[in-house]
Amino acid sequence: MSLEALSKKCSVSRSMLSAVERGTKAPTILVLDRIATGLDTSLARLLGNEKRSRVILLRHRQQKVARDPSGWQRRILSPVLPGVEFEFMRTTIGPDVNAGVFLPHAHGSREYVAVESGSLLLTLDGTKYKLRAGDSVYYDGDCLHAFANPNKVPCVYYLAMDVSGDSNGTEHRIVGKDSR
């Protein structure tokens, strides 16, 4: 894929893509995620190497952590497996931090969020959902999605993503009576 094509697909400038490729600029987590999305893969695949084994134990010190200068971080809890586009992570967003808007993943991709502590403002295609400790939500990953912590205490949540998509055209929507 050319830099021009990737730039259009992931909404990251050609100059930034080139600088990241050459190692002259350290991208934010949001930029890394946009690049991964543009390549139809996960952030974990960009940061880690594929492993093949029946059992893969990732000790805390072995888990990749992506830190964003704005005050949030993602800890990758899942290994990168051959042919699998799944990612499981623990995210911590500091007080009053907006992590930004993430681009839609492939049609048929899925995301699951579970809030451990604090509260999270999740925005899906412009619709806001406030999640508190203990809440969880499922949504289609092929939408614009944003994560923010509007409170004065850190928010910790788990995110599981299957970004492989599907080709059968099945659509899913947010499930839950009281989603907003």
7-48 confidence digits (pLDDT tens): 888 888 888 888 888 888 888 888 888 888 888 888 888 888
Token duo for residue 58: 């990732």
For the segment 62-89, the average pLDDT, to the nearest whole number, is 93
Q: Indicate whether 175 belongs to any domain.
A: no
Structural domain contains residue 177: no
Which run of H or E residues covers position 30? helix 29-38
Q: Report residue 2: phi and psi, to 5°.
A: -75, 160
pLDDT at 164: 86
Q: What is the rounded average pLDDT of the residues 91-112?
A: 95
φ/ψ of residue 146, rounded to 5: -135, 150
Structural domain total, the chain: 1
Residue 174 maps to a domain? no
Q: Supply the range of the domain harboring residue 122.
A: 3-162
- 39 in a domain, yes or no? yes
179 lies in a domain?
Answer: no
CATH number for the domain including 94? 2.60.120.10
167 is a domain residue: no
**Is residue 168 in some structural domain?**
no
Report how far residue 146's alpha carbon sits from residue 133's, in angstroms, rounded to the nearest whole number. Answer: 18
CB atoms closer than 10 angstroms to residue 108: 19
